[in-house]
Amino acid sequence: MTDSLQILKHIPEGFLNIKPRDIIKLISSPTIFHLKGKEEPPLFISLLLHGNEFSGLIILQEILKKYEKDLPRNLIIFIGNPKACAQGVRHLEDQPDFNRIWNKEHSSEYPLTGSVLEYVKKNKIYAAVDIHNNTGENPLYACISKKDLDFIKLAQSFSENIVYFTRPHSVLSQALSLIAPSLVIECGLPGYSQGITTGVQFIEKLLNSQESWKKEEIQIPYVYSTYATLLIDSDSEISFESQLVLKKGQLCLSDQIDQLNLKEVPVGTILGKVNNFNPFKLIDNKGQDVFNQFFSIINNNWIVKASFIPSMFTKDTRIAKSDCLGYVMQKISITDFLNKQKNEANPV
Ligand SMILES: [Zn+2]
């Protein structure tokens, strides 16, 4: 079970310059900092739900250095997993993934998740931003899980790349979607400077104006919608190579696989070499395995059968096995995306 929540009204001394691995010297459990600024209502930001994704910490430090004594708006900051951050890992072996515990199925984590959500509700936040990094190469993008104009407008203030997803069901941004416009910002690989700069500018914009992003016209032509999750057999031995070779008992994947993220992958592309068994499952939003719809395995080659757009494809074998290798997405025009809102129940 996760540690319980600590709530502080101030930033501890030394926080603004602390290195990610040393954060444990200042906070050792999930923590909310509730900082007073000039304006209500508060903005909510969360970071380090995944301990190795430290760009959020640098973004926060830059914001606080700039506005230390003069925050334009109340700010509620949730720091998820400082213990894992100190070890430079997503989560410790004996911990759950902190971004897979935010629904009712994870009731054993409720002392933490319930406290955070209750606190946020009570303080009437107007928007929520959960800051993450990718384990593979990805352009910067924002993720939403509600088909709503305000969510789109908030997301386009960070990036023209917007991903709509409903699975997994248990992420923080989905729980927050029931409270306020909410999104995940994906800032590229940990420490990627463009991701940090864009993240700082985005949070600054939200701190300085509660409304400006709402008044902007929709500028993006389409949204990427997550169609299915690509799972990989956890017993597989995986290697990533520039030249695909078939090794006994192993699965050999292209070392360029993460370069494909958010780009259309054409029919016929060979993504890897597979031994005698199929180690993949491609689970769609209804829970069905749709692997054969998108891929085939011919003469040990893993081949694209229907063009698709990948996201979050990773070369981190630990993440690939414990979470997923990546997601298969489809491109939907913004008009179709928003029109569907009228016909569908809230998907979150
Ligand atoms: Zn993450």
Residue-level pLDDT at 345: 40
* Distance from residue 134's CA to the centre of ligand 1 (Å): 6
* Distance from residue 289's CA to the centre of ligand 1 (Å): 25
How far lies 63's CA from each of 1, 18, 30, 58, 67, in Å? 32, 14, 20, 9, 6
> pLDDT (tens digit, 9 = 90+) per residue, 84-134?
999 999 999 999 999 999 998 888 888 999 999 999 999 999 999 999 998
Residue-level pLDDT at 340: 65
- Stretch 291-310: mean pLDDT: 95
- Stretch 32-54: mean pLDDT: 97
- Stretch 21-47: mean pLDDT: 97
* Tokens of residue 62, six digits: 């830059």
* Distance from residue 341's CA to the centre of ligand 1 (Å): 27
Q: What topology does CATH give the domain 6-220? A: Aminopeptidase (3.40.630)
For all residues of the chain together, what is the average pLDDT? 92
When pLDDT is cut at 50, 70 and 90, the band that residue 344 belongs to is very low
Backbone angles phi, psi at 16, to 5 degrees: -65, -20
Token match 């998108």: residue? Answer: 294
| Whether the predicted pLDDT of 292 surpasses 60 | yes
- Stretch 201-206: mean pLDDT: 96
Cα atoms in the Cβ-side hemisphere of radius 13 Å centred on 196? 16
* Tokens of residue 178, six digits: 């029931």
Please state, in angstroms and rounded to a whole number, the distance separating the CA atoms of residues 142 and 188.
11
- Stretch 259-274: mean pLDDT: 93
How far lies 281's CA from each of 37, 232, 294, 296, 328, in Å? 48, 6, 11, 12, 12
Residue-level pLDDT at 348: 29
- Mark the residues whose beta carbon lies below 5 A from ion ligand 1: 50, 53, 132
* Distance from residue 135's CA to the centre of ligand 1 (Å): 8
- Stretch 174-184: mean pLDDT: 96
Residue-level pLDDT at 346: 37
* Distance from residue 85's CA to the centre of ligand 1 (Å): 12
Q: Which of 168, 171, 26, 48 is nearest to 109 (CA)?
A: 171
Residue-level pLDDT at 343: 43
Residue-level pLDDT at 319: 87
Please state, in angstroms and rounded to a whole number, the distance separating the CA atoms of residues 242 and 245.
9
- Stretch 238-249: mean pLDDT: 83
The domain spans of the chain are: 6-220, 227-331
* Distance from residue 185's CA to the centre of ligand 1 (Å): 9
The dihedral over CA atoms of 48, 49, 51, 53, expressed in degrees to the nearest 10, equals: -60
- Stretch 198-224: mean pLDDT: 92
> pLDDT (tens digit, 9 = 90+) per residue, 228-242?
999 999 888 899 988
